Amino acid sequence: MATGHLDIDLDAVARNWQALNAMTATGTRTAATVKADGYGLGVAQVAGALARAGAREFFVAVAEEGAALRAALGPDVWIGVFSGHMPGDAEILRGNALVPMLNSAQQATRHMEALPGHPFGVQLDSGMNRLGMEPAEWQGLREDLLAAGPALLMSHLACADEPGHPANLSQKRVFEAMTDGAGVPRSLAATGGVLLGREYHYDLVRPGIGLYGGRPFEAAAPVVRLSLPVIQVRKVAPGEAVGYGWSWGAERPTRIATVAAGYADGILRALSGRAILWAGETACPLVGRVSMDLLTIDVSALDHDPEALDLLNAAHGVDEAADAAGTIGYEILTSLGGRYARRHHGG
């Protein structure tokens, strides 16, 4: 086949959820964040595996994602929507029993007018300045919204992947000042917050990237393997160049494997001349530029012509690829393209 194979270990996803769940404080529930199509790995399969592992509460980014998740999992799970109640969302929220996290007075008014009595949560801005009601706005709405019975009060940490960052304690204090005495379940921690310790866990945690094998959960089981087929192998003489712009030239006799994948498949151009592909434990550097559909790989270290090379595997995962690209594992995962033959195992 001329397309890459993306193998997804659903048992590893389940083990990662169970490991994070085991870290939580007594009485804390562990949800699962499955936005962006389960971080690019297939929300129906990923969420199904998580539900079988014990997850009963899920979060998505937008209402349309929630509708797809409801169709996959059925009526017996709780689904929260981070973006809240956007214009036109009422029918999707009602028809799929989704719980919007209201982010502003405008959203609160929209929700109460369009869906009176429908469940909701409230997202509070504890210092990230991205989503949620700021302290003054919340103070003006707090009495009325608490009287309406929110399902959850939540906020999000900006620097949880840096345990020593002063923002973590600062945001914790602001969150507690905004929510103490409310008598409503609270949530502050995603993956990084779970790892910060139980004082950040409150009533519910909602891990995301850690479920999929990414930092900052260094103990996570690897989830993905991306194997790319080799179309042809050629010999390149010293002084000859490879790829667009002749950006790489051979200094010695070199064997170059042309691989069927490129930036159309989510392999970032920033990996040009930086990525390493693998034939078992043998490193094969990417040389020249990443193009739309093709990569050129130096396979001189091999004593044979490979049929495929791995960009991601158990030993060299999304974070290693991200380091080479100067980005984060989240971007590597969610950029993986639609041409790969996805194969889900376990779960």
Q: Which residues does the annotation mark as catalytic?
A: 35, 244
Q: Which of 47, 33, 138 is nearest to 81 (CA)?
A: 33
Given a contact cutoff of 8 angstroms between Cβ atoms, the answer to whether 180 and 191 are in contact is no
Q: Which of 290, 285, 286, 299 is nearest to 254 (CA)?
A: 299
Task: Give the rounded distance of the alpha carbon of 219 from its chain centre.
Answer: 16
- Residue 146, classed as helix, strand or coil, is helix
Return d(Cα 242, Cα 288) in angstroms, integer: 6
Has 292 been labeled as part of a binding site? yes
- Residue 78, classed as helix, strand or coil, is strand
**Pairing label, strands 78-81, 98-102:** parallel
> How open is the CA angle 315-316-321, to the nearest 5 degrees?
170
Helix (H) or strand (E) holding 60: strand 57-60
Return d(Cα 214, Cα 225) in angstroms, integer: 13
Given a contact cutoff of 8 angstroms between Cβ atoms, the answer to whether 217 and 210 are in contact is yes
Which residues sit in the known binding site? 130, 292
Binding residues for substrate: 130, 292
